Chains A and B, each alone.
Chain A
């Protein structure tokens, strides 16, 4: 194990991708997964608070400590096994997503959870129930987690396979390796109707108890090993960027694809770029038509027999919905598809670059709503954005009715307006039966807003779950909740 105590060495561990700043007394880098148990047991017996961090690409401060020890999983980065026949893998938590994707490709396998930030780790993804563009078809990380080993805040451990331990009604109990039993009640909480949600614990009566750990943001234990389900790669993929000169047509096109449709086009992802996003990207990409008001990136999985038919269906559909068909990009090879993926990835990076360049603070939304209220949400968002006079860029996972509105705040006045908008969007999302955070989680930054979504009783119910795992309240202080 490596221990970092000097200020300079600790520096990079005290902030995340949102530039959220914290402080750690020491940083521990375990080099074997069993060292985690050893470290945690020691911290527990000395009453030292600790926080877990991985690649710190998180955007809500969850991986940034406020005090005590930071345990970083960066050296626990082995892919332990890829079982091609059973389409599953066993990994240490610190494996970077890109490394895993690249390795799987060699075996013609795919792990569909693909957050835009591929430097993030599998452990971080599980802790945040991360999601990506393909979540539209495949759901978030949760759907692929089949096994977890979790070191509890006292150094004990739970090993749990999906399908093994369920809550009985609202009562849950889990056995640890040293034969202790952790018992807790599952509070009845209101679950939003959006297809994505990363706010608060996953709690349902009769739930599979592996799910309590997925999306728990490092507050219940240290995820030590992860078993994942995998899929075969699709034989053929059609990937296209469709440009629109009319917002209404863009939304109708999206709605058509989101639902079952007569052309039987079932995308695996539907992503949105607004006019400002395209303007930003056009600095590095010459192929964007100037008349375009927005674009949709859409991908379909198909096979060599259906490829031609599906391409034709897409062509006919775009003819119906946009006058800019002639500009529609299509990737005909994996390489081109990667270029399109990069085009999408460049967007949040360009936004962050701009913010850093002008030393501006990023204020952005992570809200999502159910499909039947998406139009209201979309129209309200733009009517506010356009009346505010603050520069913005909107993009995101429109298939899941989940958009990131990014605001460029230049002065105090902008900041005031941007924050007002930010609160308004969260309240609106909740009003429309959606979520304040669809993928980035609550962490530390969004703690004040958990109460927009949940009643005090619901939040207390979640805190009780946390207490059952962490009776000394040592782990991840100030993540998710206040005043513990």
Chain B
């Protein structure tokens, strides 16, 4: 089975995000980047599939020069080879990325394309569905378990308040939910081997952006709830909070 896993490079979950001076992008100075956590789950699912069925596992990213690190991480986890579609333009929208992924996929003809459910940077909820359209393939999102058969798969996907069973023919596009398989730590020998594994660089197809970011602002701080128990101290605290914080008494 030939497997393609699409990965993206996102700011570390612990990073303090600031809006850059142009009010349209994220300030990247001083921010650490990581492999999108959902893509780690996608990779683990793909690696275990390859371990049981064989075939070749390729990882792909559409990004600037900086993204080599996440490809190396993916290779260290167990991918056989990586494709780096080099984006020249700084701004990429979902269509730009999906179009470039589709372009590579047409060449590779994978039996299955894995993605994360979402990338934790922009949360635009687009890529897998766009890919489905561009490649004319079935696309199933938020998948939490998969059973593999010859030429088809069955499985479950999360929906609000429950699960939905699905069946689809292959090739197909699958975006995975957190926890589908627990991602492994890269192993030391794999990290050493990863340095020898090929990263193929391809030039991106440049298309005009279909969306434009007008402005970016930080979300308003959610007010943290406080849980007080029934002790005298907490009653004093409650009175103080109602008086000083909420200003209702």
Contact = CB atoms under 8 A, between A and B. Distances in A.
Interface residues of A, number: 35
Given A29-B233, A333-B12, A326 B76 contact: no
Place the interface of chain B in its size category: 20 to 34
A108 B32 CA distance: 11
B246 interface: no
A181 B35 CA distance: 60
A334 B189 contact: no
Interface string A325-339: 111111111111001
B24 interface: no
B214 interface: no
Contacts of A328: 187-189
Contact of A6 (B32, B72, B232): B232
B233 A330 contact: no
Given A287-B185, A336-B185, A315 B192 contact: yes
B30 interface: yes
A9 interface: yes
B191 A106 contact: no
Interface in A45-76: none
Interface in B93-148: none
Given A311-B192, A312-B192, A315-B189, A334 B34 contact: yes
Given A106-B16, A308-B195, A332-B191, A9 B184 contact: no
A332 B73 CA distance: 7
Contacts of A326: 187-189
Nearest to A102: B14
B188 A240 contact: yes
Given A335-B12, A335-B13, A335-B34, A330 B187 contact: yes
Interface of B: 12-14, 16, 30, 32, 34-35, 37, 72-73, 76, 182, 184-189, 191-192, 195, 231-233, 236-237
17 contacts: A2-B236, A4-B233, A8-B231, A9-B231, A240-B188, A311-B188, A311-B192, A312-B192, A315-B188, A325-B188, A328-B187, A328-B188, A328-B189, A329-B186, A330-B185, A332-B186, A333-B73
Given A2-B237, A106-B16, 8 more contacts: A2-B236, A4-B231, A4-B233, A240-B188, A332-B186, A333-B34, A334-B14, A335-B34
